[in-house]
Amino acid sequence: MKPPVNVDALLRPRPPSPLLEVHDERFAEHGVRLLLKRDDLVHPELPGNKWRKLAPNLRAAVAGGHEQLVTFGGAYSNHLRATAAAGRSLGLATVGIVRGDELAGRPLNDSLARCVADGMRLHFVSRSRYRRKAEPQELARLVDEADARGAYVVPEGGSNALALSGCAELGRELRGAADVVAVACGTGGTLAGLAAGLDPGQRALGVPVLAGGFLAAEIRSLQAAAFGGPAGDWTLAEDYHHGGYARVPAELEAFAADFGARHGLPVERIYVAKLLWALAELTASGAFPRGTTLAAVVTGRP
């Protein structure tokens, strides 16, 4: 029998992540303080919400005796890369079910190549089938076809009831530190857990990076599964997705480069840049009263 695996001992996370104040006149002129919660520094290969969401699932997989993980993501998924890295470190086999069967015959991009280098086996599926992965029968077929029977299944983005417990810890680290804690959202799990961990009187603000307006229902569903019902005060700031996932128009690129130069922060473009842009725009529009302290969660690095 293999000796028990200690997930935290092997992966060596470094919570709590630093909370730093930055002076930026775009906020200061409206009487708003801006803090950066540098969750990108919590782990070198599983930064920010990737560690927060994966860690509880990794512990459950190991405790359940699973030797393989299977999960889902697109061609540039940070979650796939983090899962592959975690599997390599823990000695677990990993399988990534990737959206887009047209990618199967093409050279791998840098993101998917990193997954393979870390030992992940990729299985490409059509976009129509990928959209149905939450249906129990289709999920079972996808896992079976990927030759991952018996594997521990981690959902897309790592967002499930277990993941919310890890993200609630992020909220607890920020208790009393800010009036509004803001985070970019993909699948909604980080915001759902974050809101639950904050103190009464604090508000969590999510900035969706995908178009579609589906996220509120997903967050409510995740909180019901994790906590039995609504938890914490949260809202969404829609319309800051800049055209959809992975869309980085020139104006957003310029904003991110400028913010990084001003504050010595490498700004990740798909999530963090959209978050910071939204906060700057909302501040300029008077959405936050003077005296408000904002905390922006930096969930990853470029």
Catalytic residues: 77
HSE (side-chain half, CA atoms, 13 Å) at 11: 31
Burial 171-181 (b: 16+ CB within 10 A, else e): bebbeeebbbb
Distances (CA, A) of 292 to 30, 177, 300: 9, 11, 25
Give CA–CA dist 46/25, Å, rounded: 32
Based on the number of CB atoms within 10 Å of its own CB, is 163 exposed (0-12), middle (13-18) or buried (19 or more)? buried
What is the DSSP secondary structure assignment for residue 32, as one 8-state letter?
-
CA distances from 13 to 4, 49, 113, 169, 254 (A): 18, 12, 24, 13, 32
- Find out whether 96 and 84 touch, Cβ atoms under 8 Å: yes
Is residue 268 within 8 Å of residue 7, measured between CB atoms? no
Q: What does 252-301 look like in DSSP terms, one character per residue?
A: HHHHHHHHHHHHT----TTTHHHHHHHHHHHHHTT-S-TT-EEEEE----
The DSSP call for residue 199 is P
d(CA 301, CA 220): 28
CB 33 within 8 A of CB 16: no
Structure tokens at 151: 């594997």
